[in-house]
């Protein structure tokens, strides 16, 4: 993505997600500032065969997220905060939702996300993103929260 002078981004190019060890994308770019967003499925990450299997509850009965879950949500937020402005714009949040196989319109983003969760006029804050996850866990359950 190419940064614009209005603190926005313009889509330049991408490559379909493939399951290869190494992927290349050759482009001729105009002078400017760009954001390169690498992606991974994490599918090659494996636990050692002798590792103890452990199931953690995402949230306790008091509504507090497990520390590993909250840390993971924070990492996801940072990944999608491409402009590094500590909030997710519609484009950034839309990218997150598309990775989950979901679509969200700009109107839905405003009415269902920005108006409901901690945010600014331009984007969803980290606190709002965490609350969005909590609501998803409560509404859909731990197994289906982000399916």
Establish if 46 belongs to a structural domain. no
* pLDDT band at residue 84 using 50, 70 and 90 as cut-offs: confident
Summarised one tens digit per residue, pLDDT across range 4-42 is: 877 778 878 877 766 666 777 788 888 888 877 776 655
Residue 50 falls inside a structural domain: no
pLDDT band per the 50, 70, 90 thresholds, residue 143? low
Say what the pTM is.
Answer: 0.62
Residue 145 covered by a domain: no
CATH number of the domain bearing residue 136: 1.10.238.10
Domain encompassing residue 99? 2-40+58-140
Residue 24 covered by a domain: yes
The tally of domains found in the chain comes to 1
Average confidence (pLDDT) over 90-108: 91
* CA dist., res. 88 & res. 124, Å (int): 5
β-bridge mates for residue 125, sequence order:
87
What are the residues facing 65 on neighbouring strands? 59
| Residue (of 19, 62, 14, 56) closest to 38 by Cα position | 14
Please give the pLDDT value at position 42: 55
| Within-domain flag for 147 | no
- Mean pLDDT (whole number) for 104-132: 93
Residue 10: helix, strand or coil by DSSP?
strand
Residue 9 lies in a domain: yes
> Is 47 contained in some domain?
no
C-alpha 57/C-alpha 78 separation (Å) is 23
Is the separation of the CB atoms in 132 and 96 below 8 Å?
Answer: no
- The predicted structure's pLDDT at residue 144: 54
Nearest alpha-carbon partner for 12 in 31, 29, 88, 97:
29
Strands, E assignment, the chain:
2-3, 9-10, 87-88, 124-125
Predicted local confidence at residue 11, as pLDDT:
79
51 located within any domain: no
């Amino acid at each position: 993505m190419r940064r614009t002078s209005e603190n926005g981004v313009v889509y330049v190019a991408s490559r379909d997600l493939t399951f290869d060890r190494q992927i290349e994308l050759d482009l001729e770019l105009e002078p400017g500032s760009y954001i390169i967003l690498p992606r991974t499925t994490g599918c090659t990450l494996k636990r050692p065969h002798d590792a103890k299997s452990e199931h953690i509850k995402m949230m306790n009965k008091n509504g507090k997220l497990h520390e590993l879950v909250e840390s993971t949500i924070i990492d996801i937020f940072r990944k999608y905060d491409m402009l590094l402005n500590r909030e997710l714009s519609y484009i950034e949040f839309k990218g997150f939702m598309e990775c989950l196989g979901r679509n969200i319109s700009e109107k839905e983003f405003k009415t269902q996300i920005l108006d409901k969760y901690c945010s600014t006029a331009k984007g969803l804050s980290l606190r709002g993103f965490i609350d969005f996850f909590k609501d998803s866990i409560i509404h859909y359950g731990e197994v289906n929260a982000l399916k």
